[in-house]
């Protein structure tokens, strides 16, 4: 292309329109930048179209009752697929719990586990057969020689306070134990102090009406880009690299401060709130003569830190788990250590959906294995006399000895 | 250390260019270019000792030129031989006794290209072709110009001086700046995206290759290993050249082109007029022509004349091969390059004798003939390059994994694929260029180029962000 005459001065008429010092017609000062912008837009549209086909996503809200909160229709089935994950079928029983069995009275000879918590507890975007609770139930059933029934009350987006309010619902199921999973992002939102203070009141304080955000054109454009599939796919590849992911994640500020020691005042407050809730929750569950198990689920960032050879000073991948362990010990709840098994797996950050951040099907096996081992360690009367299957159970594929 | 085709290098070049354009005087431009070039060297080391041999070599060259120009022309031959020996010694060619090497580590970055420039100055000083007395800043700017230091292109001093020492600098309009930016963008894309992916592709093929593969797979993988490399080298080297041509244009210097669609060449002779063109031109001027003239004077026979030409070609291209490296593989590489051009020339001579010039030219214009000729040219270059990117141990390992029939199969696949693919490419290119706009092909208009550069920029930024990998180094930086 070099050397070609690009002054645009091919004839007398054109020559008049060409500025002497620039060598291009005046109109090109508008046309060329516009062409660039149009090209970028067209590229984006093409990329979005391609990624939407290749990285298909399907959100099925057929089972969600519109209105306040996340209420599930009884006996409903939905099929969803996240862009990074596989198709997952969600079957909800007559109580709206993710379970293949009825929430009615516990059949004789059957052990029942009630799970509470948020998306991680529910097995969000994970096919039922791959979920930690289905795998654990199968292993426990084999270990004990009797069926283990799981009633999963987990609801995406549930705060610890919301989970606490549903404890009575869980206890009404007459389970042998109640299991609560907590990930760092479950406690990220600061709990309203008034709501926290009124946690034991029968009538819930009215929820503030959601304020409809007025979005400027720029904000809408920003959302269009950040929420696009193209950006998701780009992030997926960018964040595959552990070092890049960690470097970017640690820049998040408050969101990432649970990884730093000492905790910031904001995170100290969050832990204090969770501590208060966990104390009340444990007391209620124990009062019903039921055991309570707390299982912290590492975030992808924690997993990356746990398996990284070098971490920046002041960063501690075990901090969140240690905090919950101390809380559980203070209140007499049992604790399943997931940090340790994740730390022993090389590149354990690969056990997560990269952008979505939830544990993937491989990671579910690690969770199932740790849960099964804990429940069979002899400290749970309901599972006394049960022994781990000789083949190691469902988690064996990815778990180190 | 700054990568030769990295974003930092481009940014550095553009900053130097901006400073250079603050004033139009020759002195200012000379000062900024020299400071920019020395600053560029400082990115590689801040220890002055590591630059000492390079400085001595440069000093030798400068004094040599001055002596030949103004003192004694008889000093030319000893100075020329001294320059060649110093280069061979500093570059540690395998035949130089290692006991004579300097023990202190030193930088030889750009030495090969400085060597060509110094030799050019010595020879032209001897034949009074230099435009007067060369000042120290002009000499240093010519030899150390950071845009051409690492891997060329090799510009003549006359060209350089015409631009750098001219009172009104070369014009720099918006249109010219647009062209320069396009060169940088496309060059950056070639090095950082195309060559990166091609390199990854060849590495993957090499990793997959082994005796356990089936015969068909071995042939296809072997063909991929061989055929990807010339494409990679082209993207890597020509991309770098695009970048430096673009940056230099902002410094008001027009660097010579180094590539002109080499894979479109229908013969090995034409190929070398389109690949690393400034090196070919240098050797043609300072090796081929003098050698040919000397031999023709020595053997004045019209029968011998064509064969003298063939030999001169062989010798010149043998030197090109040997120049590339210090070990025995490069001698073999030189033999293959020499054979390529000399057999090509011999074929032309014999065909013309047999068919006559008109018939031979008519045959050469044939579509099928042209396609096969392109395929053969590509295949021979690909085969020669095996001795460029690998060593005897790797070559032995590759050969041991293949039977004679499979080796033949590999080259048959390369030949067939290159013939077909290059023919399709040429046809598609001709067809696309047939669309006219403002009395020229639309694809070369600034509108099409703007769209293309935008696409390339988006792809480059996305790739670099997602891969998060450092820019690949320039292959020719090693020479």
Chain B nearest CA to A354, separation (Å): 14
Q: Which residue of B has its CA nearest to A44?
A: B458
For A163-190, how does the pLDDT look when each residue is reduced to its tens digit (9 = 90+)?
Answer: 999 999 999 999 999 999 999 999 998 8
- Partner residue opposite B440 with nearest CB, options A4, A35, A43: A4
Distance CA B135, CA B122 (A): 15
DSSP helix/strand/coil, A266: helix
Residues of B in Cβ contact (< 8 Å) with A1: 179, 182, 444, 449
ipTM for the predicted complex comes to 0.81
Distance CA A2, CA B445 (A): 11
Phi/psi at B133 (5° precision): -75, 135
Distance CA B384, CA B381 (A): 5
Which pair of structure tokens corresponds to residue A227? Answer: 């929420």
- Partner residue opposite A2 with nearest CB, options B257, B447, B455: B257
- Partner residue opposite B450 with nearest CB, options A7, A35, A43: A35
Query: What pLDDT is stored for residue B66 in this prediction?
Result: 95
For A256-305, how does the pLDDT look when each residue is reduced to its tens digit (9 = 90+)?
Answer: 999 999 999 999 999 999 999 999 999 999 999 999 999 999 999 999 99
Q: Which residue of A has its CA nearest to B179?
A: A2
Query: What pLDDT is stored for residue B470 in this prediction?
Result: 61
What fold does the segment set A108-200+217-383 form as a domain?
A: Rossmann fold (3.40.50)
Inter-chain touch A23–B173, beta carbons under 8 Å:
yes
For B360-412, how does the pLDDT look when each residue is reduced to its tens digit (9 = 90+)?
Answer: 999 999 999 999 999 999 999 999 999 999 889 999 988 899 999 999 999 99
Spans of chain A below 50 pLDDT: 1-16, 205-206, 208-211, 396-401
Query: What pLDDT is stored for residue A184 in this prediction?
Result: 95
Query: What pLDDT is stored for residue A214 in this prediction?
Result: 65
- Partner residue opposite A23 with nearest CB, options B176, B444, B451: B176
Inter-chain touch B178–A6, beta carbons under 8 Å:
yes
Query: What pLDDT is stored for residue A182 in this prediction?
Result: 96
Structure-token match 């930086």, residue found: B477
Which pair of structure tokens corresponds to residue B474? Answer: 């320039």
Structure-token match 């204090």, residue found: A272
Spans of chain B below 50 pLDDT: none
Distance CA A321, CA A350 (A): 19
Inter-chain touch B454–A39, beta carbons under 8 Å:
yes
Chain A nearest CA to B249, separation (Å): 11
DSSP helix/strand/coil, A141: helix
Nearest CA to A200 out of A268, A276, A116 is that of: A276
Query: What pLDDT is stored for residue A367 in this prediction?
Result: 96
Residues of A in Cβ contact (< 8 Å) with B178: 6, 24, 32
Q: Please, where are the H alpha helices in A72-150?
A: 119-122, 132-144
Residues of B in Cβ contact (< 8 Å) with A231: none
Cα B83–Cα B85–Cα B86 angle in degrees, nearest 5:
65
Residues of chain A whose C-beta is under 8 A from some C-beta in B? 1-2, 4-8, 10, 14, 21-24, 28, 31-32, 35-36, 39-40, 43, 234, 237-238, 241, 244
- Residue spans per domain, chain A: 26-55, 108-200+217-383
Q: Which residue of A has its CA nearest to B464?
A: A238
Per DSSP, A292 falls in state E
Chain B nearest CA to A310, separation (Å): 19
């Amino acid at each position: 292309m070099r050397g070609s005459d690009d002054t645009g001065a091919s004839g007398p008429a054109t020559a008049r329109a060409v500025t002497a010092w620039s060598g291009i017609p005046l109109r090109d000062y508008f046309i060329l930048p516009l062409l660039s912008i149009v090209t970028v837009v067209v590229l984006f549209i093409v990329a979005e179209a391609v990624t939407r086909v290749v990285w298909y996503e399907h959100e099925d809200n057929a089972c969600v009752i519109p209105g306040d909160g996340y209420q599930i229709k009884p006996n409903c089935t939905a099929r969803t697929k996240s862009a990074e994950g596989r198709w997952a079928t969600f079957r909800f029983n007559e109580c709206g719990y993710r379970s293949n069995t009825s929430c009615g009275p516990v059949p004789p000879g059957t052990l029942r586990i009630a799970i509470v918590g948020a998306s991680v507890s529910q097995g969000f975007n994970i096919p039922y057969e791959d979920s930690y609770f289905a795998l654990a139930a199968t292993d426990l059933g084999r270990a004990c020689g009797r069926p283990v029934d799981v009633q999963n009350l987990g609801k995406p987006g549930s705060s610890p306070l919301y989970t606490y309010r549903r404890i009575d619902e869980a206890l009404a199921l007459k389970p042998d134990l109640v299991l609560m999973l907590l990930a760092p992002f479950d406690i990220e939102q600061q709990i309203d102090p008034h709501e926290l203070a009124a946690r034991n009141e029968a009538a819930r304080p009215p929820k503030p009406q959601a304020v409809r955000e007025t979005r400027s054109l720029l904000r809408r454009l920003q959302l269009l880009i950040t929420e696009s599939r193209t950006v998701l796919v780009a992030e997926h590849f960018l964040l595959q690299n552990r070092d890049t992911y960690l470097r970017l994640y640690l820049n998040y500020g408050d969101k990432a401060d649970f990884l730093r020691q000492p905790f910031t005042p904001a995170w100290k407050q969050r832990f204090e709130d969770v501590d208060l809730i966990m104390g009340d929750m444990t007391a209620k569950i124990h009062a019903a003569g039921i055991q309570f198990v707390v299982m912290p689920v590492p975030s992808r960032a924690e997993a990356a830190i746990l398996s990284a050879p070098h971490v920046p000073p002041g960063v501690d991948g075990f901090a969140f788990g240690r905090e919950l362990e101390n809380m559980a010990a203070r209140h007499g709840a049992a604790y399943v250590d997931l940090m340790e098994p994740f730390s022993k797996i090389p590149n354990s950050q690969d056990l997560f959906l990269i952008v979505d951040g939830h544990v993937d099907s491989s990671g579910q096996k690690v969770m199932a294995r740790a849960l099964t081992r804990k429940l069979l360690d002899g400290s749970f009367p309901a599972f006394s006399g049960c022994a781990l299957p000789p083949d190691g159970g469902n988690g064996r594929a990815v778990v180190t000895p | 250390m700054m990568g030769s085709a990295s974003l930092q290098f481009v940014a550095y070049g553009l900053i130097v260019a901006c400073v250079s354009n603050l004033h139009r005087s020759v002195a200012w431009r000379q000062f900024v270019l020299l400071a920019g070039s020395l600053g560029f060297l400082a990115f590689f080391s801040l220890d002055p000792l590591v630059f000492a041999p390079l400085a001595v070599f440069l000093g030798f060259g400068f004094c040599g030129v001055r002596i030949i120009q103004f003192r004694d022309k008889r000093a030319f031959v000893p100075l020329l031989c001294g320059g060649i020996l110093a280069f061979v010694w500093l570059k540690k060619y395998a035949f130089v006794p290692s006991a004579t090497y300097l023990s202190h580590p030193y930088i030889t970055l750009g030495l090969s290209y400085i060597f060509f420039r110094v030799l050019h100055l010595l020879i032209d000083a001897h034949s009074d072709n230099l435009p007067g007395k060369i000042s120290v800043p002009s000499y240093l700017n010519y030899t150390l110009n950071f845009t051409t230091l690492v891997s060329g292109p090799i510009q003549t001093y006359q060209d350089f001086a015409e631009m750098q020492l001219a009172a009104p600098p070369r014009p720099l309009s918006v249109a010219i700046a647009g062209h320069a930016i396009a060169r940088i963008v496309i060059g950056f894309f070639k090095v950082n995206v195309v060559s990166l992916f091609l390199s990854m592709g060849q590495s993957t093929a090499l990793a997959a290759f082994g005796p356990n593969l089936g015969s068909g797979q071995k042939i296809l993988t072997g063909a991929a290993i061989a055929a990807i490399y010339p494409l990679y080298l082209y993207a890597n080297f020509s991309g770098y050249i695009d970048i430096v041509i673009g940056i230099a244009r902002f410094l008001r210097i027009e660097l010579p082109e180094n590539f002109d669609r080499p894979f479109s060449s229908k013969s090995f002779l034409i190929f070398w007029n389109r690949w690393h063109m400034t090196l070919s031109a240098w050797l043609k001027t300072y090796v081929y022509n003098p050698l040919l003239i000397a031999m023709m004077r020595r053997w004045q026979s019209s029968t011998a004349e064509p064969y003298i030409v063939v030999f001169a070609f062989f010798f010149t291209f043998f030197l090109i091969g040997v120049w590339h490296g210090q070990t025995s593989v490069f001698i073999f590489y030189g033999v293959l390059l020499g054979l390529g051009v000399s057999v090509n020339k011999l074929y032309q001579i014999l065909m013309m004798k047999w068919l006559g010039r008109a018939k031979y030219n008519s045959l050469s214009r044939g579509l099928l003939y042209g396609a096969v000729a392109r395929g053969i040219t590509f295949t021979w270059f690909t085969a020669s390059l095996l001795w460029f990117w690998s060593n005897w141990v790797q070559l032995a390992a590759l050969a041991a994994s293949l039977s004679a029939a499979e080796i033949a199969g590999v080259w048959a696949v390369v030949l067939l694929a290159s013939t077909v693919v290059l023919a399709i490419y040429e046809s598609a290119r001709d067809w696309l260029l047939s669309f006219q706009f403002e009395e020229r092909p639309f694809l070369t208009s600034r509108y099409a180029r703007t769209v293309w550069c935008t696409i390339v920029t988006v792809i480059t930024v996305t790739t670099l962000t997602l891969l998060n990998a450092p820019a690949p180094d320039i292959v020719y930086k090693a020479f």
